[in-house]
Amino acid sequence: MAGAQAARNSAGTRGAGARLSIRLLGGFRLVKDEHPLLLRPGGKAETLLVNLALRLRGGIEREELLGLLWPTSDEALAAQSLHTLVHELRVAVGDALGGAPPVVRRDGRLCLNLEDGISVDIEEFEARAAQGDSLRRAGDDRAALPCYEQAADLYGGDLVIGSELRHLLERERLRARYLEVLGRLAENRFQQGDFTGARDRALELLGSDPCREDAHRMVMRCCVRLGQRAQALRQYQTCERILEREFGARPEPATAELYDLVRSDPRAV
């Protein structure tokens, strides 16, 4: 129980007081005191913030940033341009950080100034999901629920920044984590008797990955519990069509068995 309490406390304090947020899920946004700041799309300031946010903890060496931002410029001119860019960002957002700079140097590398109030939606999303997992492992499913809800709400869409292989891998990793969170939410709500909420989260999961049979089964079970037996049967047919179209495959035995049970003895579902 001590571990569950610690996870609850962490959920309430992590990110508290952050007044400047960099959001990369669903597209780049820079948000100051809940109001978006307009930056030139694809401009140097956006490129700088995106790359620093994607390497949040390790930072980036100055020479690498110069190559990213001014690949054809003389190094001395590029270094001066970087200095000017960082200064302009401080002027634009420093008041949200108590006058502190948004970009700092640490161990010879440039990093975002997390200590003085910058938050990044990717880190917040993963922190909430991890807190939910910790509470769930401690047996406190009721406390885990709001953590998972917060994580799902923070996921504004797939990571659409960057074209390098590591960015693509990160996009898929985060997307898989989001789908896992939705599955946890559906399961949690079903266990608590919120069949409408469980169905809606399972349908949300299917909107991102229509081939997830566990989500199809959850929708079927919820529909039966809500007195919508015909809809549960149609959900199986939908699952069947999707799997045939995408993979030329049949539903898993567990899905087919649930379908037979819905047809023959829905009270046992």
What are the phi and psi torsion angles at 20 (to 5°)?
-130, 120
Q: What is the mean pLDDT of residues 178-190?
A: 96
pLDDT band at 18 (very low <50, low <70, confident <90, very high): low
Q: Rg of the chain's alpha carbons, rounded to an integer?
A: 23
Residues 35 and 112 in one domain: yes
Residue where a domain terminates, one of 192, 226, 255? 192
Asked if pLDDT for residue 4 goes beyond 60, the answer is: no
| Helix spans in 72-211 (H) | 75-93, 121-137, 141-154, 165-191, 195-208
Instruction: State residue 19's pLDDT score.
Output: 86
How confident is the model over 89-118, as a mean pLDDT? Answer: 91
Give the CATH number for residue 260: 1.25.40.10
Same domain, 81 and 51: yes
Residues 6+ away with beta carbon under 8 Å from 56: 111, 112, 114, 120, 122, 123
Question: In this model, does residue 13 exceed pLDDT 70?
Answer: no
Is the pLDDT score of 34 beyond 90? no
pLDDT in the model for residue 163: 65
Q: How many domains does the chain have?
A: 3
Q: Of the residues 95, 116, 137, which one is the last residue of a structural domain?
A: 116
Per DSSP, 53 falls in state H
Instruction: Give the domain range for residue 215.
Output: 195-269
Give the highest mean pLDDT range of 2-11, 82-91, 155-164. Answer: 82-91
d(CA 76, CA 205): 50
Q: What local confidence, expressed as pLDDT, does residue 49 receive? A: 94
Residue 222 has a pLDDT of 98
172-176 contacts, C-beta under 8 A, 24 or more apart: 174/25, 174/122, 174/125, 174/126, 175/208
Note the pTM of the prediction, 2 decimals.
Answer: 0.84
Question: Looking at the structure, do residues 214 and 97 belong to the same domain, yes or no?
Answer: no
Co-location of 131 and 155 in the same domain: yes
Q: How far apart are the first and last CA of the chain?
A: 33
Residue 160 confidence (pLDDT): 79
**pLDDT of 162 strictly over 70:** no
CA pair distance 127, 11, nearest whole angstrom? 8
Q: Is the pLDDT of residue 69 over 70?
A: yes
User: Does the structure show a pLDDT above 70 at 74?
Assistant: yes
Yes or no: say if 154 and 23 are a contact pair by the CB < 8 Å rule: no
Q: In this structure, are 5 and 124 located in the same domain?
A: yes
